[in-house]
Amino acid sequence: MQTGKPTRSRRPAAFTLVELLVVIAIIGLLAALLLPVLARATEKARVTRVRGELHNIGLALEMYSTDYAGRVPPVRVNCNSDLAEHWCELPVELANERYLVRGNQGGREADFEDLFNPGHTYKYDAPGPMLINGTSPGTRQVWVPTNAPTDMSGGGQYFTNSIISPVKWVVWSTGPKPTSKKTLMTHSPLTGDSWYRDTGDSGVIVRYAGRNGLQYTSP
């Protein structure tokens, strides 16, 4: 028979309510600090992807221009119709001639969706021919800075002919905030004042070609 002091059963250690609340508070603080960093990193990655896609569209436009004696596709503007919100859509010609993938939705015949503006293509503009509501011919005026294509600040003027304009064509994304004042400001997208600059900013992300076909991009 064994004798001795009785042993006490030890309860497993556990957090007190105060300790649990402290841990939750620390986790919440860390999350609050990390979420903005993650959001900025995500936006930066999306901007990088947009720049790459605009680059591909620029190549398609220059191939089209080479094949059609230097001409560029007409700009399309829709007024008082269900396609009004698809102003300056990517050219249907690029899809018809297989420079870009063709879609079957109105306003997205050239099916290259703006990453920051779902349901819409990236936008395209060029001085010269314009189609209103798909059929009525017109002439497109595009505002171009005076010292374009290398300096996009300061004043400028309107051009109606891509042959004499310092800028042959421009494609752009509406940027992270499609309805912001900066994105929709007068003379956007070719004025540098309307350009997206850094994560958390508004403004457009732009690629354009000079008269000689040399391409440029917003910073």
pLDDT in tens, 115-171: 999 999 999 999 999 999 888 899 999 999 999 999 999 999 999 998 899 999 999
Listed range (105-109, 120-124, 145-149, 183-187) with the worst mean pLDDT: 105-109
State which of 10-14, 41-45, 185-189 shows the largest mean pLDDT: 185-189
User: pLDDT confidence of 78, banded at 50, 70, 90?
Assistant: confident
User: pLDDT confidence of 15, banded at 50, 70, 90?
Assistant: low
To the question of pTM greater than 0.85 for the whole model, the response is no
Cβ contacts of 111-118, under 8 Å, gap ≥ 24: 112/53, 112/57, 114/50, 114/173, 114/174, 115/46, 115/49, 115/50, 115/53, 115/173, 116/46, 116/50, 116/173, 116/174, 116/175, 116/176, 116/178, 116/205, 117/173, 117/174, 117/178
Nearest to 124 by CA among 174, 183, 75: 75
Does the pLDDT at position 65 exceed 90? Answer: yes
Averaged pLDDT for residues 66-81: 90
User: pLDDT confidence of 46, banded at 50, 70, 90?
Assistant: very high
Instruction: Please tell me the predicted confidence (pLDDT) of residue 29.
Output: 76
